[in-house]
């Protein structure tokens, strides 16, 4: 055999041997460096586990059979469904090449070494101790022992969510309440789908109280689908399905609603006199809270409707009637009806006979009225419309009032009082000082009113009030309270109300001084005999009050009659007094 051939063969065998050795070495290293991840349910790392309950701690043991040392490494845990991720530290243990750590799974929020997972979700633990391309993984599952619950959906016609409804008119708001009895807090999205056309919107519902009841709303209407503004395109007769799955557990609940739109709608509804529009009744549809208060002459109720079903008005079965409501009874108002129609619209007119005329009726027609209209088209579609108004031609009574307080530094007063209940409440009360209006204030539900900051003129001020009801009727002007405002003088005096003592109602005298002064108040009868005396001191810029209950110095009630009150102020080198007439009438 040739030597050169032997040498070539030898070199080939060596190359093959070296190549096999290298491949074997590489394979051995790769197998040895793949991370192994083990999960346990106990801190002794003795009970393997892959499913964990809400709040459980997951104990992790990691090795790649290569990495060793006394340090700490980091592994990652990622929620496979939601993508939220945390880092977990693992520390070398006593045994060589083994690292230990733990983390918590929770239905709450992510935190340090705590990962959010909902029931049924999985998470992947990834370890790469050697920081090479041979990472290892393990997967765990959140099993909170929750049985999937079907969502329950309610639909309502008003925001208080007390009146359930499944039929809604054009432009109506559908108020929602949803629960699965388990999911709580935050905002969830539900869907609403038109069952005939297929258009959908997403609607947010929120549990603000943390009681597992989620509320929200959307609008159905005959316009274009508008997901941004929660408006679902739904046409008359169509249905829509509301679908909710609050827990995202695959067990959703549904509710079907129907578009039951009107065959006709009101375009105009007016109270008129001699073809002149006086009042618009379109929003006055609540019998217990009418918004229109009418007065004066009335001879016509005018109603115009839009006919939406394509059929003209059936004049034989349509009607418009006016009733007066007296307690629980109705009295039909005499008059006649007339009707006009065209394509897509109709007019229904009620002519009062005789017309309302307060100059003739002497307020006999005052009261609550009900306009009842029935609109029927030739296709048989029918709609009822009801409107209410109060007719009031009687002026309210004069309100009681008094001066509640006086601010001597600004020369202003506060006036308060009470209106007399009226059919057209609440009343507006206007305050006048020296016949000049100082503004109005509305009486509250208890008929009381208060207005502050009413400026006074230097000298004598004459204060009156007048009320006006919602129909525009005005009371007479009240009696006058007189108040002398003299900012340069020593003494200012104002009476809280009229100068009359009545049973359990004293006279209040408010006084102030511009410098420190001694105050003396004396009450005399018409014979000049002293009945009551009071002395005190007053500081400048402070309003003080003294009340007389119609009693003498022995706290005995005095007789009815007229009395003289003298109020004196004595300052440093200055003195001033005021004299007023008082009366007692029990």
Closest CA to 258 of 375, 169, 335: 169
> What are the residue ranges in the chain where pLDDT is below 70?
1-32
- On whether residue 7 sits in a domain, the answer given is no
CATH number of the domain enclosing 333: 2.60.40.1220
Q: Can you tell me the distance from the alpha carbon of 34 to that of 130, in angstroms, rounded to the nearest whole number? A: 9
Q: How far is CA 523 from the centre of its chain?
A: 56
Angle (nearest 5°) at CA 423 between 419 and 427: 35
Q: Are residues 511 and 532 in the same domain?
A: yes
Query: Are the CB atoms for 213 and 162 separated by under 8 Å?
Result: no
- On whether residue 16 sits in a domain, the answer given is no
pLDDT, position 32? 54
Residues forming a β-bridge with 124:
78, 139
Q: Are residues 290 and 383 in the same domain?
A: yes
* Residue 165 structural domain: 152-259
pLDDT, position 6? 34
- Domain stop point among 259, 279, 306: 259
CATH number of the domain enclosing 108: 2.60.40
pLDDT, position 8? 40
- Domain stop point among 259, 274, 299: 259
- On whether residue 12 sits in a domain, the answer given is no
Query: Are the CB atoms for 38 and 138 separated by under 8 Å?
Result: yes
Q: Terminus-to-terminus CA distance in the chain, angstroms?
A: 155
Query: Are the CB atoms for 443 and 449 separated by under 8 Å?
Result: yes
Residues in CB range of 401: below 8 A, 6 or more apart = 415, 416, 417, 418, 429, 465, 478, 481, 497
CATH number of the domain enclosing 517: 2.60.40.2550
CA quadruple 558, 563, 564, 568: dihedral sign:
positive
Q: Can you tell me the distance from the alpha carbon of 330 to that of 313, in angstroms, rounded to the nearest whole number? A: 27
Two tokens at 212?
């597992």
Residues in CB range of 39: below 8 A, 6 or more apart = 48, 49, 50, 58, 59, 60, 125, 138, 140
Q: Are residues 339 and 444 in the same domain?
A: no
pTM score, whole prediction:
0.55
Q: Are residues 508 and 550 in the same domain?
A: yes
Residue 93 backbone class (left: φ over 0; alpha: ψ -120 to 50; beta: rest): beta
Closest CA to 94 of 70, 61, 58, 63: 70
Q: Are residues 232 and 156 in the same domain?
A: yes
Q: Can you tell me the distance from the alpha carbon of 505 to that of 292, in angstroms, rounded to the nearest whole number? A: 38
Q: Can you tell me the distance from the alpha carbon of 304 to that of 44, in angstroms, rounded to the nearest whole number? A: 84
CATH number of the domain enclosing 406: 2.60.40.10
Q: Are residues 327 and 421 in the same domain?
A: no
- On whether residue 287 sits in a domain, the answer given is yes
CATH number of the domain enclosing 236: 2.60.40.1930
Q: Are residues 367 and 298 in the same domain?
A: yes
Residues forming a β-bridge with 493:
484, 511
Two tokens at 209?
């109280």
Residues forming a β-bridge with 369:
324, 389
Closest CA to 241 of 215, 263, 218: 218
- Domain stop point among 391, 408, 438: 391
Two tokens at 469?
């009801």
Closest CA to 32 of 104, 106, 126, 136: 136
Domain count, the chain: 5
- On whether residue 457 sits in a domain, the answer given is yes
- On whether residue 2 sits in a domain, the answer given is no
Q: Are residues 272 and 253 in the same domain?
A: no
Q: Are residues 270 and 380 in the same domain?
A: yes
- On whether residue 31 sits in a domain, the answer given is no
Closest CA to 300 of 264, 329, 346, 268: 268
pLDDT, position 7? 36
- On whether residue 382 sits in a domain, the answer given is yes
């Amino acid at each position: 055999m040739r030597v050169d051939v032997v040498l070539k063969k030898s070199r080939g065998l060596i190359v093959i041997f070296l190549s096999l050795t290298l491949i074997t070495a590489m394979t051995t290293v790769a197998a040895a460096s793949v991370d192994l991840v083990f999960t346990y349910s106990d801190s002794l790392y003795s009970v393997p586990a892959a499913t964990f309950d809400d709040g459980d701690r997951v104990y992790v043991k990691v090795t790649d059979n290569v990495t060793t040392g006394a340090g700490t490494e980091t592994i990652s845990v990622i929620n496979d469904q939601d993508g939220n991720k945390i880092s977990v530290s693992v520390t070398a243990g006593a045994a060589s090449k083994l690292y230990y750590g733990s983390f918590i799974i929770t239905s709450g929020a992510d935190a340090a070494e705590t990962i959010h997972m909902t029931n049924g979700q999985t998470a992947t633990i990834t370890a790469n101790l050697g920081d090479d391309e041979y990472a290892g993984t393990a997967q765990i599952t959140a099993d909170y022992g929750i049985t999937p619950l079907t969502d329950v959906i309610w639909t309502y016609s008003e925001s208080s969510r007390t009146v359930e409804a499944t039929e809604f008119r054009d432009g109506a708001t559908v108020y929602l309440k949803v629960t699965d009895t388990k999911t709580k807090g935050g905002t969830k999205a539900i869907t609403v789908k038109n069952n005939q056309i297929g258009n959908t919107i997403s609607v947010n519902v929120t549990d603000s109280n943390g009681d597992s009841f989620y509320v929200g709303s959307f609008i159905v209407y005959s316009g274009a689908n508008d997901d941004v503004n929660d408006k679902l395109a739904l046409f008359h007769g169509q249905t829509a399905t509301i679908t909710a799955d609050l827990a995202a557990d695959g067990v959703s609940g549904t509710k079907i609603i129907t578009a039951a739109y009107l065959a006709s709608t009101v375009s105009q509804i007016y109270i008129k006199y001699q073809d002149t529009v006086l009042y618009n009744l379109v929003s006055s549809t609540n019998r217990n809270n009418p918004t229109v208060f009418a007065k004066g002459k009335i001879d016509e109720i005018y109603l115009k409707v839009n006919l939406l079903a394509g059929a003209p008005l059936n004049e034989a079965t349509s009607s418009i009637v006016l009733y007066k409501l007296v307690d629980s009874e109705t009295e039909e108002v005499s008059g006649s009806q007339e009707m006009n129609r065209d394509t897509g619209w109709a007019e229904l007119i009620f002519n009062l006979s005789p017309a309302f005329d307060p100059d003739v009726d002497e307020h006999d027609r005052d009261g609550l009225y009900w306009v009842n209209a029935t609109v029927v088209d030739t296709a048989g579609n029918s709609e009822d419309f009801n409107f209410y108004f109060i007719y009031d031609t009687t002026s309210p009574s004069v309100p009681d009032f008094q001066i509640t307080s006086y601010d001597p530094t600004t020369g202003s007063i506060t006036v308060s009082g009470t209106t007399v209940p009226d059919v057209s409440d609440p009343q507006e009360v206007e305050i006048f000082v020296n016949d000049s209006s100082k503004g109005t204030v509305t009486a509250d539900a208890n008929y009381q009113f208060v207005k502050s900051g009413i400026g006074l003129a230097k000298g004598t001020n004459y204060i009156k009030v007048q009320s006006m009801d919602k129909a525009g009727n005005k009371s007479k002007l009240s009696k006058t309270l007189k108040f002398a405002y003299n900012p340069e003088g020593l003494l200012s005096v104002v009476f809280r109300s009229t100068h009359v003592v009545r049973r359990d109602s004293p006279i209040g005298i408010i006084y102030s001084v511009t410098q420190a002064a001694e105050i003396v108040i004396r009450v005399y009868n018409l014979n000049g005999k002293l009945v009551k005396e009071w002395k005190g001191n007053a500081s400048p810029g402070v309003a003080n009050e003294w009340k007389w209950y119609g009693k003498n110095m022995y706290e005995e009630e005095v007789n009815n009659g007229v009395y003289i009150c003298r109020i004196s102020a004595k300052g440093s080198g200055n003195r001033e007094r005021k004299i007023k007439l008082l009366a007692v009438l029990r």
